[in-house]
């Protein structure tokens, strides 16, 4: 199994630009999570999906953030417009069920200048 | 809402020393508990997990953790650390019967000196 695959691994963009982060969960996993990791705030759960349906997006910081899961094998996290304070490592994770162990991708390091 | 508290933000030990990292959680119901490790520049990997049963859980690389329900604790231990254990360690919790994502502690940065 290839594990959770995220792209790109690194993204540098200018303030105001749209950023799209991509995630392919492990095949057969029903739940998908987006986390953000920063030095100040640690790991924060942004949103999670169960069977492609968004269940809890209370962690999404602002309306500039949106996430979709059009099918069981693909999800996107979009930031529009991006701001320097969005700079962080964004992790995608998947699990067989919501309340079981999560398997993490390698992360996308986003830098907004 | 759940919360997780890790007492030590930075720990420095010498090789062969014993390790104990503290983790306390706040949640009134049944919980699942996890320890994840993040090596420099890498993603999070599961060290061990507790769902139910024996409160002493053994994980990979010689790590173990003990769930003490009365203390709301899930401390991570290793009798003899190695230089390769240098990493960030995260305690996490989710509700055992519900449907929610993992809530993580702020992490403990462990440095092992050769």
A54-97 pLDDT tens trace = 998 989 988 999 999 999 999 999 999 999 999 999 999 999 87
Residue with the two structure tokens 């290839």: A2
Q: Could you tell me which residues come within 8 angstroms of residue B78 by beta carbon, excluding any fewer than 6 positions away?
A: B18, B19, B61, B62, B63, B64, B85
Contacts of A55 in chain B (CB under 8 A): 99
Give me the mean pLDDT over the B67-78 stretch: 95
Residue A98: pLDDT band with limits 50, 70, 90: low
> According to the model, what pLDDT value does residue A1 have?
60
B27-65 pLDDT tens trace = 878 889 999 999 988 889 999 999 989 999 999 999 999
* Average pLDDT score over chain B: 92
Give me the mean pLDDT over the B12-39 stretch: 93
Q: Which residue of B has its CA nearest to A103?
A: B45
Is the confidence at residue B86, as pLDDT, over 90? yes
> According to the model, what pLDDT value does residue A101 have?
86
> According to the model, what pLDDT value does residue A46 have?
95
Asked if B101 lies within 8 A of A103 by C-beta distance, the reply is no
Annotate A58-82 with b (16+ C-beta within 10 A) or e (fewer). ebbeeeebbbebeebbebebebeeb
Q: CA–CA separation, A71 vs A73, rounded Å?
A: 6
Q: Which residue of A has its CA nearest to B94?
A: A99
Q: In this predicted structure, which of A15-24, A93-102, B52-61 has the lowest mean pLDDT?
A: A93-102
> According to the model, what pLDDT value does residue B112 have?
96
Residue B8: pLDDT band with limits 50, 70, 90: confident
B71 vs B27, residue with greater confidence = B71
Is the confidence at residue B98, as pLDDT, over 80? no
Identify which of B34, B42, B106 has the shortest CB distance to residue A42.
B106
Mutate which of A49, A93, A102 to disrupt the B interface (most B C-beta within 10 Å)?
Answer: A102
Q: Could you tell me which residues come within 8 angstroms of residue A98 by beta carbon, excluding any fewer than 6 positions away?
A: A30, A31, A48, A50, A55, B94, B99, B100, B101
Question: Token pair for residue B110?
Answer: 């462990």
Residue B97: pLDDT band with limits 50, 70, 90: low
Identify which of B36, B42, B99 has the shortest CB distance to residue A55.
B99
């Amino acid at each position: 199994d290839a594990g959770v695959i995220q792209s790109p691994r690194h993204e540098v963009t200018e303030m105001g630009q749209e950023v799209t982060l991509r995630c392919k969960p492990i095949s057969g996993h029903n739940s998908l999570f987006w986390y953000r990791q920063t030095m100040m705030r640690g790991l924060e759960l942004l949103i999670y999906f169960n069977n492609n349906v968004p269940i809890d997006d209370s962690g999404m910081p602002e309306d500039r953030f949106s996430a979709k899961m059009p099918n069981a094998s693909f999800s996107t996290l979009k930031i529009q417009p991006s701001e320097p304070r969005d700079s962080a490592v964004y992790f995608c994770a998947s699990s067989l069920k919501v309340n079981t162990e999560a398997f993490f991708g390698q992360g996308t390091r986003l830098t907004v200048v | 809402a759940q919360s997780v508290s890790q007492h030590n933000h930075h720990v420095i030990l010498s090789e062969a020393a014993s390790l104990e990292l503290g983790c306390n959680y706040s949640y009134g119901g049944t919980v699942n508990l996890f320890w994840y490790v993040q090596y420099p520049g890498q993603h999070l990997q599961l060290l061990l997990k507790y769902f139910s049963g024996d409160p002493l859980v053994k994980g990979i690389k010689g790590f173990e953790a003990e769930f003490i329900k009365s203390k709301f604790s899930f401390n991570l231990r290793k009798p003899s650390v190695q230089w390769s254990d240098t990493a960030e360690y995260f305690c996490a919790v989710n509700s055992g019967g519900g449907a929610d994502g993992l809530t993580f502690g702020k992490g403990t940065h462990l440095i092992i000196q050769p």
